[in-house]
C-alpha cells in the first residue's frame, strides 16, 4: 500500500499526530495533464509532458501514447499505470512536482 505518512511533533511534549494522505481521485485534463484530489483536501494539477518527453527508458516513453497514458488507475491511494509499470511518489504529486 502506498500512502504518505506525515508526522508533526508538538514542541512541548512527545505526542505525535499522524496524517495519512492518499489520492482519492485523479482526472485526465488533456495533453498529459492530470488533476489530483488528495485525502487532505489539496488539489494539484500536474503536467507530465516534460517528464515523459525527456525519459530515456523506453518503458516510460511508451506513455507518450496518449491513449495509454490515459489508462491510469488509483490503487490503494496511489496513481499507477499498467500494474505499477509506471508510478510516482505520492509526496511529489502532493507537492505538485515530479
Say if residues 36 and 26 touch (Cβ distance below 8 Å). yes
Segments forming the whole domain that contains residue 52: 4-95
pTM for the model stands at: 0.81
Instruction: With H, G, I as helix, E, B as strand and everything else as coil, classify residue 1.
Output: coil
Per-residue pLDDT, 15: 58
**What DSSP letter does each residue of 7-64 carry, written as one string?**
EEE-SSS--EEEEEE-EEEEEEEETTEEEEEETTS-EEEEE-HHHHHT---HHHHGGG
Tell me which DSSP letter residue 65 carries. Answer: S
Residues of the chain with pLDDT under 50: 1-11
Q: What is the CATH number of the domain that holds 72?
A: 3.30.2020.10
Cell of 19: 496524517
**Number of domains making up the chain:** 1
Per-residue pLDDT, 6: 47
Per-residue pLDDT, 36: 98
Amino acid at each position: 500500500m502506498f500512502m504518505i505518512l506525515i508526522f508533526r511533533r508538538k514542541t512541548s511534549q512527545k505526542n505525535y499526530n499522524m496524517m495519512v494522505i492518499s489520492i482519492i481521485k485523479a482526472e485526465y485534463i488533456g495533453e498529459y495533464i492530470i488533476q489530483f484530489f488528495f485525502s487532505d483536501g489539496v488539489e494539484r494539477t500536474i503536467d507530465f509532458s516534460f517528464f515523459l518527453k525527456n525519459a530515456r527508458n523506453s518503458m516510460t516513453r511508451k506513455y507518450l501514447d496518449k491513449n495509454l497514458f490515459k489508462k491510469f488507475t488509483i490503487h490503494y491511494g496511489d496513481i499507477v499505470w499498467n500494474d505499477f509499470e509506471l508510478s510516482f511518489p505520492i509526496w511529489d504529486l502532493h507537492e505538485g512536482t515530479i
